[in-house]
Amino acid sequence: MCGRYASTKAPTDLAEEFTAVDAVTEKAGEERRPDYNVAPTRDVIAVVQRHPRDAEGNADPDTTERSLRLVRWGLVPFWAKDPSAGARMINARSETAAEKPAFRKALASRRCLLPADGWYEWQRRAATKDHKASKQPYFTHYADGSSLAMAGLWEFWRPKEGELLEKYPDGLVTATVLTTGAVGPLAQVHDRMPLVLPRDAWDAWLDPDTDAKADSVQAWLRPPSEQLVASLEIVPVSDRVNSVKNNSADLLTPLDPAQVEEPIQLDLLG
């Protein structure tokens, strides 16, 4: 699963990396602060591709535009009565998303990428007679510092009437992170991982006119290649990340393996 990640790069840098228009800074009019401990229900940056619309709201069917947008993490289905459902839908299993009422329409035409420096996952160890139960957080990221592109789905929700309409007059744009089976050493931390897409998958994944049933999309709804996983680095980090109140650069500082009880794959941690 993916329940916490880091997103510290400025939108202007992400726009260049993902060849997209920076609509985040354009709309906010101010610099976005780095987030070292992204938690569910926060606003996060997503890369989307849509047909541009004119002043009257008519879409241009002949062109698409890729842009960075702010979305709330935790998908709220369009049919939900209230936005509380989003807190339970921060992840969607890539194997079954096409079958789930909450995700299937989004998978068909509202796919996105969620840029991240890397994601946190906790390795759980059961209690034994010699050790008490523990959870060791690990941070997984590209060794070369480039951004991960986590596959996501986005949805638009708007209440029909009443107090919620007054509270959300423009509706909500929300998103979920797709997950898949963990590969290689990642499986030693957890059996699930975010669905990380390589650069050559981005065009087909983001194309709003390519149905999810197309081979060009289906090809990426599976665990990443061993080559992609080999480009990742897995490092143990402080359990300060456990609290969403902690949000500073030191959360990404690797722990010395000597500080970790039974660290995974020591060759990867050096």
Residue positions annotated with a catalytic role: 2, 121
Q: How far apart are CA 144 and CA 7, in angstroms?
A: 16
Instruction: Specify burial of residue 101 (Cβ count, 10 A radius: 0-12, 13-18, 19+).
Output: exposed
Tokens of 138: 């690990």
What pairs with residue 114 in β-bridges?
150
Q: How far apart are CA 245 and CA 140, in angstroms?
A: 21
Distances 200 to 134, 197, 205, 217, 253 between C-alpha atoms, Å = 39, 8, 10, 12, 30
- State the Cα angle at 91 between 96 and 50, rounded to 5°: 85
Distances 263 to 192, 253, 256, 267, 270 between C-alpha atoms, Å = 19, 16, 10, 10, 11
Q: How far apart are CA 202 and CA 180, in angstroms?
A: 17
Tokens of 52: 């541009």
Residue pair 8/35 in contact (Cβ under 8 Å)? The answer is yes
